Amino acid sequence: MSEWWEKVVVGGRDDCWLWQASVDSKGYPQINRRGKVLRVHRLAAEEAHGPLTGPVHHSCENRRCLNPAHLVPMSSTREHLQHHLATRCKRGHDLTDPANVAILRRGERRCRKCHVIRNVKSQRKRRQERRMMV
């Protein structure tokens, strides 16, 4: 096993094994090896499944999870389809309700509720920055 496993809280066979160190801006575990930043879930998947040719899907939907049973190597096409067939967004909002789904120009789906949350946070931040300027 690799040295980075000491930074993982290993649970039961079906539990998520959670990374306890640095994550990137998208929440994926990362390490720095010889000046290069590597995503640890890919390293864990390679140790368990062999060389990867495409993305790795977390069947548990937890990006910090490194349980090899939850890391599923996929083809880019399958990952893309799975993303477009998801029934819930990352915050758990229903994506089967057409009133809650916005379709972007490129055909991507976006959760309207999450969009509102992002806009409210952004507006608060701008207001706070304006107050600091005065």
**What pLDDT is stored for residue 80 in this prediction?**
57
What pLDDT tens digit does each residue of the chain (134 aa) get? 678 899 999 999 899 999 999 999 888 999 998 999 999 999 999 999 899 888 888 888 899 999 999 998 876 655 555 656 677 887 888 888 889 888 777 667 788 998 899 889 899 989 988 888 87
Rounded to an integer, what distance in angstroms lies between the CA atom of residue 111 and that of residue 88?
9
**What pLDDT is stored for residue 1 in this prediction?**
61
Q: Are 94 and 100 in contact (CB under 8 A)?
A: yes
Closest CA to 57 of 68, 47, 96: 68
**Helix H or strand E segment including 65:** none
Secondary structure in 3-state letters for 79-112: HHHHHHCCCECCCCCECCCHHHEEECCCCCEEEH
**What pLDDT is stored for residue 20 in this prediction?**
95
- C-alpha torsion angle, residues 5, 6, 8, 9 (rounded to 10): 130
**What pLDDT is stored for residue 57 in this prediction?**
83
**What pLDDT is stored for residue 56 in this prediction?**
87
Bridge partners, 7 (sequence order) = none
Place of tokens 């959670």: 18
Three-state DSSP at 45 gives: helix
Domains, the chain, ranges and CATH? 1-85 (3.90.75), 86-134 (no CATH)
